[in-house]
Chains A and B, each alone.
Chain A
């Protein structure tokens, strides 16, 4: 640890922490965008038109398997140059759209799996009881589809938080960008970058633990096999 300087650390710390507000608000903005666009993907995916679904699956595959960094650059540098529809976007909006749409393809899959996991009998029952389509969704399907996906969605919030520093490459002044600026001015990257790493760890590790706890709780609630098993065991104990 020959080169570690504590006074640099304490000098850089308040400067870097200033960017935390932007980083966190960007995380939530991107996440909200992903949740909304993910819903749109799921909605289109459930339409009856086969060619549309086919195109959609390729579009999603394309977005998912190309780097978010390139997508950010495309939105920031190339979008203003596109004829007719191109507009100049500020870095924050760019990051929200780029990262939001990228992760929406993953979030869409989460929604889809949640809906697919609702048992067939529930669909049939809602039909048999003559539920209208909106009522079927709001009263029967969604209340059962959404809760099991909450831990997965929470995981994606943490993943999003860790992807947000990518936005520093197009000039969003989050903690990483502030650390880079400090490093460029003082020729010391060690302490500011370590501060950034510590901030990420301190924020994401407890949230990951929280999500894990939530997941265990949800598993206990929704794992029907386990519930059945425990029921049988308790019956066995009685007799």
Chain B
């Protein structure tokens, strides 16, 4: 269950740290040169998990957000239950539950640890973001609803042409923050055995403990480098949502 306790399977990885005693925790160029290519192998997995969870998470946010606003009481309460359960428990528990407990409960396999990870992250953040979707739609001025009704628009037209364009603008800054949160949470998939950056880092650490500082610093730098575009995007989204809006 705890991958950290297990002996590492350095399987296909052939790394030689013959000169390792020279480093003794000191960060050297040659140590970085050894570690860098090994960590690069994990970037692809991290990015895959990230993009899949972003797409699924945002879709989930809109689906759940609209369902909570629907007139159907069963749909509304069911979505409310989903949102409260996923916001009330922690992501790591949900991840372990989806990966270890769910297959046991219903005798079915979720497919792979990739889907368990993506589902856990997207359902968790989808629940948080659905509240943003709901809140933004509700905070569009009432007059807009009334005006579009007066113009004889259908319910669907009202939402698509009048309400949503104004609501999405309010959602953007918060959505940007959740991008970075999702990136951070992708590191959890290493706990269910996916070979992401952190997992590669753990392998390197197990191979040579004295290099741990270099390894984890590089892992942190990798995550930071991946976060930088997202931070930039968040700032852009914030600027966009402020543009042309009268401040009261």
Alpha-carbon distance between A78 and B218 when the two chains are bound, in angstroms: 12
Query: What chain A residues lie within 8 Å of B210 (beta carbons)?
Result: 81
Establish whether residues B227 and A197, one from each chain, have CB atoms under 8 Å apart when the complex forms.
no
Interface 1/0 per residue, B188-223 and A, CB below 8 Å = 101100000010011001000111110111011001
Alpha-carbon distance between A165 and B188 when the two chains are bound, in angstroms: 12
Contacting B at CB under 8 A, from A126-165, are: 161-165
Alpha-carbon distance between A81 and B204 when the two chains are bound, in angstroms: 14
User: How many residues of B are counted as interface, with CB atoms below 8 angstroms from the partner's CB atoms?
Assistant: 53
Establish whether residues B97 and A170, one from each chain, have CB atoms under 8 Å apart when the complex forms.
no
Establish whether residues B92 and A73, one from each chain, have CB atoms under 8 Å apart when the complex forms.
no
Establish whether residues B84 and A205, one from each chain, have CB atoms under 8 Å apart when the complex forms.
yes
Establish whether residues B216 and A193, one from each chain, have CB atoms under 8 Å apart when the complex forms.
no
Max chain A Cβ within 10 angstroms of own Cβ: one of B26, B185, B216: B216
Establish whether residues B96 and A193, one from each chain, have CB atoms under 8 Å apart when the complex forms.
yes
Alpha-carbon distance between A3 and B102 when the two chains are bound, in angstroms: 10
Q: How far is the CB of B106 from chain A (nearest CB, A)?
A: 8
Known contacts A61-B231, A65-B180, A81-B212; A71 and B101 CB within 8 A of each other: no
Q: Does B112 interact with chain A (Cβ within 8 Å)?
A: no
Alpha-carbon distance between A66 and B227 when the two chains are bound, in angstroms: 8
Alpha-carbon distance between A188 and B104 when the two chains are bound, in angstroms: 8
Alpha-carbon distance between A210 and B87 when the two chains are bound, in angstroms: 15
Establish whether residues B198 and A162, one from each chain, have CB atoms under 8 Å apart when the complex forms.
no
Alpha-carbon distance between A202 and B91 when the two chains are bound, in angstroms: 16
Alpha-carbon distance between A79 and B214 when the two chains are bound, in angstroms: 10
Query: What chain B residues lie within 8 Å of A201 (beta carbons)?
Result: 84-85, 88-89
Interface 1/0 per residue, A70-106 and B, CB below 8 Å = 1101100111011100100000000000000000000
Q: Does A4 interact with chain B (Cβ within 8 Å)?
A: yes
Interface 1/0 per residue, A158-178 and B, CB below 8 Å = 000111111011110000110
Query: What chain B residues lie within 8 Å of A180 (beta carbons)?
Result: 1-2, 96
Establish whether residues B93 and A176, one from each chain, have CB atoms under 8 Å apart when the complex forms.
yes
Q: Does A108 interact with chain B (Cβ within 8 Å)?
A: no
Closest B-chain residue to A192, C-beta based? B101
Alpha-carbon distance between A28 and B2 when the two chains are bound, in angstroms: 25
Q: Does B107 interact with chain A (Cβ within 8 Å)?
A: yes
Interface 1/0 per residue, B205-248 and A, CB below 8 Å = 10001111101110110011001101100000000000000000
Q: Does A184 interact with chain B (Cβ within 8 Å)?
A: yes
Alpha-carbon distance between A196 and B92 when the two chains are bound, in angstroms: 11
Closest B-chain residue to A197, C-beta based? B89
Interface SS of chain A: helix
Q: Does A62 interact with chain B (Cβ within 8 Å)?
A: yes
Q: Does B113 interact with chain A (Cβ within 8 Å)?
A: no
User: How many residues of A are counted as interface, with CB atoms below 8 angstroms from the partner's CB atoms?
Assistant: 51
Interface SS of chain B: helix
Partner of A189, one of B92, B96, B107, B216: B96
Query: What chain A residues lie within 8 Å of B198 (beta carbons)?
Result: 67, 69-70, 73
Establish whether residues B187 and A82, one from each chain, have CB atoms under 8 Å apart when the complex forms.
no
Q: Does B135 interact with chain A (Cβ within 8 Å)?
A: no
Q: Does A183 interact with chain B (Cβ within 8 Å)?
A: yes
Q: Does B100 interact with chain A (Cβ within 8 Å)?
A: yes
Establish whether residues B213 and A163, one from each chain, have CB atoms under 8 Å apart when the complex forms.
no
Query: What chain B residues lie within 8 Å of A2 (beta carbons)?
Result: 105-107
Establish whether residues A4 and B105, one from each chain, have CB atoms under 8 Å apart when the complex forms.
yes
Establish whether residues A78 and B213, one from each chain, have CB atoms under 8 Å apart when the complex forms.
yes
Q: A66-B220, A170-B4, A190-B104 are known contacts; what are 16 more A-B pairs with Cβ within 8 Å?
A: A64-B180, A65-B223, A65-B231, A66-B224, A67-B223, A69-B187, A70-B220, A71-B220, A78-B205, A81-B209, A83-B26, A176-B92, A183-B1, A189-B96, A190-B101, A205-B84
List residues of chain B with CB under 8 Å of any chain A CB. 1-2, 4, 24-26, 84-85, 87-94, 96-97, 100-101, 104-107, 180, 183-188, 190-191, 198, 201-202, 205, 209-213, 215-217, 219-220, 223-224, 227-228, 230-231
List residues of chain A with CB under 8 Å of any chain B CB. 1-4, 61-62, 64-71, 73-74, 77-79, 81-83, 86, 161-166, 168-171, 176-177, 180-181, 183-184, 188-190, 193-194, 196-197, 200-201, 204-205, 208
